[in-house]
Structure 1
Amino acid sequence: MRQKFFHFLSKLIEKKSLFIIIAATFFSCASIFFASTHIRMNSDYDDLVSEDLPYHKRYKDFLKEFGDQEYLFVVVEKGEDSKRAKAFIDALAKRLKNEATLEEVLWKIDQPKLKTSFPLYLSPSALDATKDFVQSHQAFTHSLLSIHHLASLFSVVNQSFNQVQPSAEHEPVFEKGFQFLNALLKDLSSVLRGEERKAISLEETLMELDPEFDSDAYLRSGELYFLFLMPKKDFGTMEVIAEPLQKIREHLTEVKKEFPEVKAGLTGRPVLAADELAATNKDMTLATTLALLCVGFLFVFFFRSVSRPALAMLTLVMGISWTFAFVALVFGELTILSIVFALILIGAAVEYAIHFVARYQEEIQKHNSLADAVEQTLQTAGRSNMTSALTTAAAFFTFTWTDFTGLAELGVIAGVGIVLCLLAMTLVLPALLYTKDKTLSQEQRRHTFPFQVPALLGLYRYPNRVLLGFVLFLFMLSPFFARVSFDNNLLHLQPDGLESVEMEHLIQEKSSERSWFANVRVDTLEEMQSQIAQLKQLPVVDHVESITKLVPDEQEKKQQIIADIRSKLGNISFPQLSSSVQKNELLHQLDLFQKKILSLQDAAFSSGKIEEVNELEHFSSNITEFSALLQQADEATLKALQAYQSDLLGPLRTAMLLVVQALSPEKLAVSDFPEAITRRYISSKGAYTFYIYPKENIWDPDALDAFVTAVSAVNPNAFGTPYEVHESGKLMRTTFLYSAIFAFAVILFLVWFDFKAIIPTCLAIVPLMVGMFLLVCVMGLLSLSFNMANFFAIPILIGVGVDSGVHLVHRILHERNLSALGTATAKGVLLTVFANAIGFGMMMIASHKGLASLGKVMAIGSITCLLSAVVFMPPLAALLLKLPALDKSARGS
């Protein structure tokens, strides 16, 4: 039946070649026009997975109700001077507020009530503890509030040794207190030595005690400040945030010039995606240019011609243009996954053109009639191409069952594209070759150089030895098979040196903020508080953020406790800050302080705590040094010390006044905060959501799995970016696994349908099976892992393996020996493999690690499939089919 079909095609081409070319050209132009006017880009990652999946439906519903929560972060390191960092933030925020490409700019909570209502953010237990302390240590508390010179400061320090008993609960406070006092003593000594010193900040010490605290309500976590930016996103373009990203970076660069000492950068999931796309585009442009040059040279070298390879490439372009029209007609859009179909078609469908042209050049040497050469090429290479294309298309169609809609669409588009390219190679390419060559004389037509691979014929002289050597080779590499793993960490795919990646690492190291967090939606505050209490107990959870971060709960109860504290304190008087240094009093307090330290040192020594003894000894020496310098200080030196005293105690007095004012806090409500902040926690429907931040770096797959599992145990309906990445990653791996199994079954059936015999069928898939096994072994040997990028090499390599096997087995069955494998068929196989290895292998130069790994896997896989196809399979075929390895002429030569 197929013989009659190809005979019919050859007659149609002989009689209607010009019509076929004109019709194909018309349809190609019409396809390009139709596709360009009807295909839109959809670069929304959230549309790659079916909304029928519960975790994804919850996430999409959340976005509709609460709005987009994927902010961009400007990360600013606090550094040694937090005031400079804040000035940097203010300067940048001033610029960004007027930027039309941004919808929201958040960097501080600008609410005056916060300055006098901050005690409401403390827990009732903390307030009760404060009340008890004030009640039992009233005199000490008044002394603390009345600090007005250095002597009174050290007096309070000395009193604290008697008033506050050290405990594990207070250890962090004592540790920071000693660090502050040690640094203060060093500064005071420097001032007395005539060195300029900026007064040490008490606020910095308080900030170290509370990683979220900032006296000016800037958005802070740990050592970092944050600006949250919501850009206008255009999902109709691949770049999505290209314009706002460019504007932000321009402003950031300008502000950095004003504050060169401040370290700052831009990151966030959208920025990482945009930077990844930009790096990919840059790398692909360079790799494609180099690949085209190298593959073009290969074509000319193998075919000794420019025109025939050019016609083959023109035909491929036609097939791809028809596929674009199919996309426009059926889907109307391309996603960030399905857009790679053109690259896949170039890699997979170019094989059919190569094999057709290679066999055509051989047949025109044998036949006087050009029509006979075309028919014989269709009957041989055309038949093999059909089997190869249908098996490759079937491999892609197996993706259609999955809920990973991005992969399903890619599978349909690539599968249909393979079939359309096959149609072009089977109908249009022969017509182009026939039309071109029929104007030439027979001598001009046959002006080609036979392609020989003598090394192959040499190998085939000793098929049993080759088989034994290859099996030993496989056996030696087999231990490396089990070493290959799947690397889920998407951060490992990013290029080195990207600011967004560097900032992401900085967030992990120096703050509890995360660009990934889980969400839970609830209807009532009671339900929210109950779940938060459970989640805070999980070891994988760093903290939980809810509306109570803005509007504290139990405010009435807290107000009553604060009122009790106020009454316990009684009347508070603030003496005026001293305009001089009370030298004698200060020396007296330093002497008492020294005795306290020596007492602690003796106690530490008695307990065998040598490290603490050494630290206290160093501390004691700093007290001694300052005391000695103070004893000798003249009037001018004391004046410098008094200036330092004012700079130190002025902000402290301001803070104390705020504390007293805050003892009459106003109740806070949601309406006290801007909607841009509150919508993050409360929807327009009145529902609540809260944010669960992981303790570990959940870019790491194991940490991600532990986090998702633990949170789901508390609330199975949790969702968010960690769930999207975790579940989608599992779905993708499952899809590839089951698709590979289904594809193998379909391929086996189609190849059997072509050969109608078991042994030829098995031989045809040997290059695929052995090539894939070798690929994994070599990857293990080179310590390469599969990842979300290089996994896409597998469908293409399936095409390479099956294509090579089918063509070689057909030729072996036709010739009944291995001699012909050294000519046109070998040319097609070698050129196909080298084109893939070089074309895709050029991606190894990419800075994007995902692309580079894809290039490595494609290059290695192409070579392993080639070795399996031309070294292992032919001798195996000679053995199983009981054929002579070479014909008489080859054996004689």
Structure 2
Amino acid sequence: MRNDLPKSFSVFLLLPQAVSPAKDLPTLLTRGIVAIVDFSRRRAISVVVASLALATLLAVYAAGHLSLNADMSNIVSSDAPFRKLDKEMDRAFPQRTDRLVVVIDALTAEQADSAARALLQQLGQRPDLFKSVQDPIGSEFFKREGLLFSSAKELSQIMEQLIRAQPMIGELASDPSVRGLFHALSLWLEGVAHGETTLHDLERPFTAISDSIESILRGTPRPVSWQALLTDRPPTPDELRRILLVQPILDFGALKPGAKASAAVREAARSLGLTPDHGVRVRLTGEVALSDEEFGSLTEGAGLIGSLSFSLLCLFLWLAVGSPRLVVAILGTLVVGLISTAAFAAAAIGSLNLISVAFAVLFVGIAVDFGIQFAVRYRDCRHRTPDFAEALRTAAGAMATPLPLAAATTAVGFYSFVPSSYAGLRELGLIAGTGMLIALGLNFTLLPALITLLRPPGEAEPVGFVGAARVDRFLVERRRAVAFLAAVLALAGLAVLPRLRFDFDPLHLKNPRTESMSTLLELITSPNATPYTIDILVPSAAAAAGLVPRLEALPEVDRVLTLESFVPEDQPEKLATIADAAFLLLPSLSPAATAPAPADAAVLAATTELGGKLRTLPPSSGGDQTTLRLANALDGVLHATPPPLKTLQAALVGDLPTLFADLRLALSAEPVTLESLPKDLVRDWVTPDQRRRIEVSPKGDARDNATLERFVDAVRSVAPNASGSPVTIQESARIVVHAFIGAGIIALIAISLLLFALLRRALDTLLVLAPLLLAGLLTMVTSVVVGLPLNFANIIGLPLLLGIGVAFDIYFVTNWRAGLDQPLQSSTARAILCSGLTTGTAFGALAVSSHTGTSQMGILLMLALGFTLLCTLLILPSLLALAPRRNLLPQADLVARGEEGA
């Protein structure tokens, strides 16, 4: 009677007829999966059409509902205490959040000031892109009162030098042109000729003017810094640099939320001529630019890397399955699975962050393994069973236990992230875990249907690695030695493990070659620009006054700022010094009349006159190469065709009117009190309800994790409500480390219970987990040896290792339970090796990314994958040879595998 039954039930006839659901779950699972695969074969066209139609709908849904949230602050749960403090600070001072920092570098202080003023005005005309644009140093308050912030000694030196330059200032103020400059120098030379002064006083102006004229003649104009000449000191780096603080309107639905604002800043700089060829460099940094360029670096070279990865993926798939048709079937299944997972992400979460966006690479890297395992087993069965339908059913029966078990354990590994307070990790776990289940379902439905329609040819040769027989024998014969070596490696790894380092500074994950990061690295040593400052919000001025001395007493603190810090010390003495200088200088700076702009002929005449006097100085005057150099430079101007008079005006005296206006304002300084501070400044330190902000800067190199940790702990010992980036960095690190430890423990326990429930023997469960744990240990030890610390990005690889590695071990252990004695010669070994190569291709795409964090994630994942393959293929066979075998699989599995004893 049984001979009359359909052939599709031939596998079922070998299964026990009376089963206990609890005891014989693998048998029930095999029946169901074989039936599903056989249905997909018989209804292949319907299954493929339905899958493609559903994938199309899901793709449309995902495209319309899945967004990218670039706000990195949302990666950690908003319920964390430090996040609440950050939110409170942001609500108190909203104008200090989401800033774009515009850094302007110029050849002279005047040029930097002029560039900042022009760019500030231009950006202020775009309220559609910018909420606010500020030039803190360039405000009228600091221009008028800035000298009061110098020390009394430094202020006295500046005033003395300005008084010494008063004759030159008077001449230039009455005629701020090249004619006026050259006329003033000619008068000075007359004084030299009559012995009233010396050329030594003119050496620095002559050198600066010669440098400028020679640069003009070379076609690379370099302006003269009259601020440096009049104060008789070189400009400081801070004087050559100006910083604008811009608060842009962000679009968090875009890959780069601040892209439009950044583009507007760059375009404004170009239109104003603020470019390197004009001696000005405008760069962007700050949290907005850093975040935008971080996402940009993720996509940098994505086309080339993606094409190369896809090519390698296809190559390794072809090596695994040996048929272009099977490659197409696996890839088709993979694409549908990826679309379905993205649609789930859209429905369950709605947006992706910097962490959860990695689900796509992880899905491809892991889900492709399921397709390879099924396709390779099909090839092996097709070699043994020429009939296509029977080979597909047999392959389904063979994979009915290991593939669901691998998918379930991998999903459990991902789902272990879900309880985490690390929101980015939690969302990744939910998406990727569900993706594994989606991939499992498609590999038992869509993949068999595609194989049926594509109908790859039969297999003439065995699918396994016949040449691995010697390795199989070696691992069996030397099983004790291999096991001993594994134990030694484990003990050595445990000894090294305490040296594993966690680098919790997110700035270390950014690409240092990007403009925003390279600029930040330049600014980071300045206490006025470092991002490593702590903010403390206190209820009143009295509370701030009581806390500041305690903070200043901490050895880890370099500087403490409050609103009171902007009231200069020793004002009476300084104001008197300024008043004395103003009495002499203001009349010269404010002439009764200013000469009109000269004609070109007048400028050429003044140039000729100055050149002649330089060449006719008597030897007794001390004339040397300095005067000769300037005379030659002037001759170059006169002989140029045409003479570059406009460029000469701009380079030599173009900034003088503005400089003199600023000097007049600085000489009109007034007493500064808390009440006289500008509202914009007060608003950055005091809330409307009179709460005060205290800013604390660290001492030492804050980029060093130990230094930063000591700084945070010290400040929080005095002010537990401290917030800011140092606190965020440290607390986020603690949350992430705890999250991963918790996820690892949950994953290990859940996977162990799941394995024991299905394998029903503790020893077999241990055999699956032992190589996996060794691989994880070796991965961490290697990261110590090569100096690759764990960080916010690559730490994902450790729990992920549980999901990937457990699948490989499951395939070997279940085959071993079914009677497989030469694992490396089997089709399973081929599938595992090729699956590892394809997964490595996906991880390799991460490793070559220009984004430092992504690259380090890829490197650690590849290390983990390499050690997983090593332990699975070389350690596990020896452990299996040592373990007593007890067949716990149904006889159907022995027949379906067709590998017993092979």
Q: Answer yes or no: same fold by TM over 0.5.
A: yes
CA contact (8 A) 1:106 1:228 kept: yes
Flag the 1:572–1:855 CA change in 2: closer, same or farther, 3 A: closer
Counterpart selection for 1:75 from 103, 125, 139: 103
Matched, 1:719 2:723: yes
3-state secondary structure, aligned to 2:275: helix
Counterpart selection for 1:538 from 525, 543, 554: 554
CA–CA distance in 1 between the matches of 2:581 and 2:872? 93
Counterpart selection for 2:865 from 862, 866, 869: 862
Tell me the equivalent position of 1:741: 745
CA–CA distance in 2 between the matches of 1:742 and 1:863? 24
The code of the aligned residue for 1:4 comes to L
Tell me the equivalent position of 2:540: 524
Counterpart selection for 2:827 from 824, 827, 835: 824
The code of the aligned residue for 2:840 comes to A
Q: Which deviates more from structure 2 when the two are superposed, residues 860-869 or residues 683-692?
A: 683-692
Tell me the equivalent position of 1:102: 130
Flag the 1:629–1:690 CA change in 2: closer, same or farther, 3 A: farther
Match runs of 1:110-129 below 5 Å: 112=140
CA shift at 1:833, angstroms? 0.8
CA contact (8 A) 1:283 1:848 kept: no
Counterpart selection for 2:297 from 279, 283, 286: 279
Q: Which deviates more from structure 2 when the two are superposed, residues 491-500 or residues 358-367?
A: 491-500
The code of the aligned residue for 2:753 comes to F
Q: Write the deviation string for residues 337-377 of structure 1: whole angstroms up to 9, x where unpaired.
A: 22221221111221111111111121233335544433332
CA contact (8 A) 1:148 1:575 kept: no
Tell me the equivalent position of 2:55: 28
CA shift at 1:245, angstroms? 1.9
Flag the 1:264–1:568 CA change in 2: closer, same or farther, 3 A: closer
Q: Write the deviation string for residues 68-91 of structure 1: whole angstroms up to 9, x where unpaired.
A: 523222223465x21122223234
Matched, 1:6 2:6: no
Match runs of 1:523-602 below 5 Å: 523-548=539-564, 552=567
CA–CA distance in 2 between the matches of 1:390 and 1:652? 73
What is the root-mean-square deviation in Å for CA atoms of aligned residues?
4.5
CA–CA distance in 1 between the matches of 2:348 and 2:734? 28
Flag the 1:421–1:207 CA change in 2: closer, same or farther, 3 A: farther
CA–CA distance in 2 between the matches of 1:85 and 1:791? 44
Superposition TM-score, scaled by structure 1 size: 0.75
Counterpart selection for 1:774 from 778, 802, 805: 778
CA shift at 1:146, angstroms? 7.0
3-state secondary structure, aligned to 1:737: helix
Superposition TM-score, scaled by structure 2 size: 0.75
Give structure 2 stretches of 5+ with no counterpart: 1-24, 169-197, 212-223, 590-617, 632-652, 888-897
The code of the aligned residue for 2:791 comes to N
CA–CA distance in 1 between the matches of 2:304 and 2:792? 22
CA shift at 1:827, angstroms? 1.6
Matched, 1:693 2:697: yes
Tell me the equivalent position of 1:796: 800
CA–CA distance in 2 between the matches of 1:879 and 1:37? 55
Match runs of 1:156-305 below 5 Å: 188-189=202-203, 196=210, 201=227, 221=238, 224-253=241-270, 255-257=273-275, 260-305=278-323
CA shift at 1:32, angstroms? 2.3
The code of the aligned residue for 1:266 comes to L
Flag the 1:186–1:724 CA change in 2: closer, same or farther, 3 A: farther
CA shift at 1:43, angstroms? 1.9
CA–CA distance in 1 between the matches of 2:363 and 2:77? 25
CA contact (8 A) 1:461 1:891 kept: no
3-state secondary structure, aligned to 1:881: coil
CA shift at 1:189, angstroms? 5.0
Match runs of 1:837-852 below 5 Å: 837-852=840-855
The code of the aligned residue for 1:87 comes to S
Matched, 1:465 2:478: yes
Counterpart selection for 1:328 from 335, 346, 351: 346
Match runs of 1:85-100 below 5 Å: 85-99=112-126, 100=128
CA contact (8 A) 2:820 2:901 kept: no
Match runs of 1:666-677 below 5 Å: 669=675, 672-674=678-680, 677=681
CA–CA distance in 1 between the matches of 2:29 and 2:486? 43
CA shift at 1:277, angstroms? 1.3
CA shift at 1:839, angstroms? 2.7
3-state secondary structure, aligned to 1:487: coil
CA–CA distance in 2 between the matches of 1:194 and 1:834? 64
The code of the aligned residue for 1:459 comes to V
CA contact (8 A) 1:202 1:652 kept: no
CA contact (8 A) 2:163 2:585 kept: yes
CA shift at 1:281, angstroms? 0.9
CA–CA distance in 2 between the matches of 1:875 and 1:743? 26
CA–CA distance in 1 between the matches of 2:280 and 2:578? 45
Q: Write the deviation string for residues 479-521 of structure 1: whole angstroms up to 9, x where unpaired.
A: 7656543333433333343222221121124564213432222
CA contact (8 A) 1:146 1:575 kept: no
CA–CA distance in 1 between the matches of 2:317 and 2:74? 40
CA shift at 1:458, angstroms? 0.7
CA contact (8 A) 2:413 2:800 kept: no
Q: Write the deviation string for residues 809-830 of structure 1: whole angstroms up to 9, x where unpaired.
A: 1111112422x54131112111
3-state secondary structure, aligned to 2:418: helix
Match runs of 1:434-445 below 5 Å: 434=452, 436-437=454-455, 445=457
CA–CA distance in 1 between the matches of 2:145 and 2:488? 74
Identity rate of aligned residues, in percent? Answer: 22
Counterpart selection for 2:333 from 299, 307, 315: 315
Match runs of 1:871-886 below 5 Å: 871-881=874-884
CA contact (8 A) 1:547 1:682 kept: yes
The code of the aligned residue for 1:866 comes to L
CA contact (8 A) 1:111 1:672 kept: no
CA–CA distance in 2 between the matches of 1:261 and 1:673? 34
3-state secondary structure, aligned to 2:444: helix
Match runs of 1:445-464 below 5 Å: 445-447=457-459, 449-462=461-474, 463-464=476-477
3-state secondary structure, aligned to 1:461: helix
CA–CA distance in 1 between the matches of 2:383 and 2:368? 23
CA–CA distance in 1 between the matches of 2:349 and 2:657? 68
The code of the aligned residue for 1:705 comes to E
CA shift at 1:310, angstroms? 1.8
CA–CA distance in 2 between the matches of 1:7 and 1:143? 98
Tell me the equivalent position of 2:403: 385
Tell me the equivalent position of 2:75: 48
Q: Which deviates more from structure 2 when the two are superposed, residues 862-871 or residues 28-37?
A: 28-37
CA–CA distance in 2 between the matches of 1:533 and 1:294? 63
Q: Write the deviation string for residues 435-471 of structure 1: whole angstroms up to 9, x where unpaired.
A: 554xxxxxx7524542232343211213232652574
The code of the aligned residue for 2:754 comes to L
Match runs of 1:750-761 below 5 Å: 750-761=754-765
Q: Write the deviation string for residues 411-451 of structure 1: whole angstroms up to 9, x where unpaired.
A: 122112212221222333234434554xxxxxx75245422
Q: Which deviates more from structure 2 when the two are superposed, residues 410-419 or residues 251-260?
A: 251-260
CA contact (8 A) 2:581 2:667 kept: no
Tell me the equivalent position of 2:412: 394
Aligned length: 769
CA contact (8 A) 1:119 1:665 kept: no
CA contact (8 A) 2:538 2:693 kept: yes
CA–CA distance in 2 between the matches of 1:483 and 1:761? 30
Tell me the equivalent position of 1:413: 431
CA–CA distance in 2 between the matches of 1:852 and 1:301? 27
Tell me the equivalent position of 1:601: none
3-state secondary structure, aligned to 1:725: helix
Flag the 1:788–1:283 CA change in 2: closer, same or farther, 3 A: farther
